[in-house]
């Protein structure tokens, strides 16, 4: 019998190696991205399915923050089935399609439908080399080193996310920020080495029966992804929320068997910490991750807009070790396939 987590755990702990390629891929196409001149578009829409939809949520926030370009995210299925709710009439729109495999049915069909409308150009971000999607964009950011072979996305998510951040730096003409992206690699390695044991201890806490991940701004999509990883790998009850939204109903679920994990920002630290202090008074265990003054500290010295990737490894590790303590194999989450292909979607 194959050892559980034989794929997932190595993919998590080695992911910073793929980040180097993520940066290099954007750097290689930097002049082509500049020629694209996305600033001439009215809107940039990021699409994906599952993990890559959550990636799109954060990527859109980073793009709008760094470039000022109006950006939003949507599931690929919505862009395909309900395009009038996604793409405004009479506007020049660019589409950024994100897929680990490069073969996800909804994303391929959504790109084809978008291209047929002749309202703008396509950018692709994928780990799948020589796949249908990898050839469909005017700009194709392909990061094969980031491809992971386990079903739940970990290394692939972070590698594609970093390329999206690099894309935003280039579009926003932030050369100095783009140059700083390479510093994320050794910092990520340090975080994994320093905190894996602590993440394992948290994941193995059998007393907890539900989790909430809180993140706001560009961190909300990352909170969604962290929650999804825990669901997929360990079949745990887990939900993501914006920090202050958590008070508006979901806080009623908090008790002594609840863990609330906060993805802290610097800009809104005190408002976010106030929410965590409140749920702690209600009996929940609270865990924080952020630059400083957190359970897990980056101490990166990097600007907040480009360091979102650093939240991911620890949260992925918690999911893996929770899976293992309950006798599950995170390499093979229940009812899931690595790629979703749908014959009925045309």
Three-state secondary structure of 88-147: CCCCCEEEEEEECCCCCHHHHHHHHHHHHHCCCCEEEEECCCCCCHHHCCCEEEECHHHC
Neighbours of 165 (CB within 10 A): 28
How many Å apart are CA 137 and CA 124, to the nearest integer?
Answer: 5
List, in order, residues 6 or more apart from 114 with CB less than 8 Å away.
79, 83, 87, 95, 120, 122
Mean pLDDT of 140-152: 94
* 225-246 per-position pLDDT tens digit: 999 999 999 999 999 999 999 9
How many Å apart are CA 12 and CA 196, to the nearest integer?
Answer: 10
Q: Do domains 8-182 and 184-325 have the same CATH topology?
A: yes
Burial (CB count within 10 angstroms: exposed 0-12, middle 13-18, buried 19+), residue 285 = middle
Domain borders along the chain are 8-182, 184-325
pLDDT at 1: 42
Strand order in the sheet with 139-142: 71-75, 43-48, 93-99, 122-126, 139-142
Q: Model-level pTM?
A: 0.95
Task: Tell me: pLDDT of 192 over 90.
Answer: yes
What mean pLDDT value characterizes the chain? 94
Cα 234 to Cα 14, 94, 146, 328, 335: the distances in Å are 21, 37, 23, 7, 13
How many Å apart are CA 138 and CA 290, to the nearest integer?
Answer: 36
How many Å apart are CA 132 and CA 22, to the nearest integer?
Answer: 20
pLDDT at 13: 96
Nearest alpha carbon to residue 7 among 332, 269, 312: 332
119, 93 contact by CB (below 8 A): yes
Task: Tell me: pLDDT of 211 over 60.
Answer: yes
pLDDT class for 336, splitting at 50, 70, 90? low
Q: How many CA atoms lie within 13 A of 224 on its CB side?
A: 19
pLDDT at 343: 57
Mean pLDDT of 36-47: 94
How many Å apart are CA 85 and CA 77, to the nearest integer?
Answer: 12
Task: Tell me: pLDDT of 337 over 60.
Answer: no
* 258-273 per-position pLDDT tens digit: 999 999 999 999 999 9
The pair of structure tokens assigned to 28 is: 């290689």
* 311-335 per-position pLDDT tens digit: 999 999 999 999 999 999 888 877 6
- Specify the DSSP class assigned to residue 6: T
Mean pLDDT of 41-67: 98
How many Å apart are CA 197 and CA 295, to the nearest integer?
Answer: 13
pLDDT at 330: 86
Cα 259 to Cα 178, 194, 200, 286: the distances in Å are 35, 22, 15, 6
pLDDT at 54: 98
127, 144 contact by CB (below 8 A): yes
Q: Which CATH superfamily does the domain covering 184-325 fall into?
A: Glucose-6-phosphate isomerase like protein; domain 1 (3.40.50.10490)
pLDDT at 332: 81
221, 315 contact by CB (below 8 A): no
Task: Tell me: pLDDT of 285 over 80.
Answer: yes
pLDDT at 37: 86
Give the phi and the psi of residue 283 in degrees, each rounded to 5. Answer: 110, -5
pLDDT at 243: 98
- Note the CATH number of domain 8-182: 3.40.50.10490
Per DSSP, what are the bridge partners of residue 74? 47
Give the phi and the psi of residue 294 in degrees, each rounded to 5. Answer: -145, 165
């Amino acid at each position: 019998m194959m050892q559980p987590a034989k794929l997932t755990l190595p993919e998590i702990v080695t992911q910073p190696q793929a980040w180097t390629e993520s940066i290099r891929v954007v750097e290689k196409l930097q002049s082509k991205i500049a020629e694209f001149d996305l600033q001439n578009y009215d809107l940039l829409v990021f699409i994906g399915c599952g993990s890559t939809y959550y990636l799109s949520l954060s990527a859109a926030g980073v793009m709008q923050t760094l470039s000022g370009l109006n950006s939003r995210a949507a599931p690929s299925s919505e862009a395909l089935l309900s395009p009038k709710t996604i793409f405004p009439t009479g506007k020049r729109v660019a589409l950024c399609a994100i897929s680990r495999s490069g073969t996800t049915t909804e994303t391929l069909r959504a790109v084809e439908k978008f291209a047929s409308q002749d309202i703008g150009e396509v950018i692709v971000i994928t780990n799948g080399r020589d796949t249908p999607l990898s050839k469909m964009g005017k700009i194709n950011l392909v990061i094969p080193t980031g491809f992971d072979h386990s079903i739940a996305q970990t290394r692939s998510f972070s590698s594609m996310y970093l390329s999206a951040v690099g894309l935003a730096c280039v579009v926003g003409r932030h050369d100095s920020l783009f140059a700083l992206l390479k510093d994320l690699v050794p910092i990520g390695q340090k975080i994994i080495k320093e905190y894996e044991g602590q993440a394992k201890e948290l994941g193995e806490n059998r007393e907890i029966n539900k989790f909430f991940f809180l993140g706001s701004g560009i961190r909300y999509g990352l909170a969604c992804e962290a929650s999804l990883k825990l669901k997929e790998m360990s079949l745990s009850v887990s939900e993501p929320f914006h920090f202050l939204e958590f008070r508006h109903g979901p806080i009623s679920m908090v008790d002594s068997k609840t863990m609330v994990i906060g993805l802290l920002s610097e800009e809104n630290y005190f408002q976010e910490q106030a929410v965590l202090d409140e749920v702690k008074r209600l009996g929940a265990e609270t865990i924080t991750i952020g630059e400083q003054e957190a359970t897990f500290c980056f101490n990166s010295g990097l600007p907040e807009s480009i360091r979102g990737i650093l939240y991911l490894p620890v949260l992925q590790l918690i999911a893996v070790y929770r899976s293992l303590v309950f006798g599950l194999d995170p390499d093979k989450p229940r009812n899931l396939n690595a790629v979703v292909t749908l014959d009925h979607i045309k």
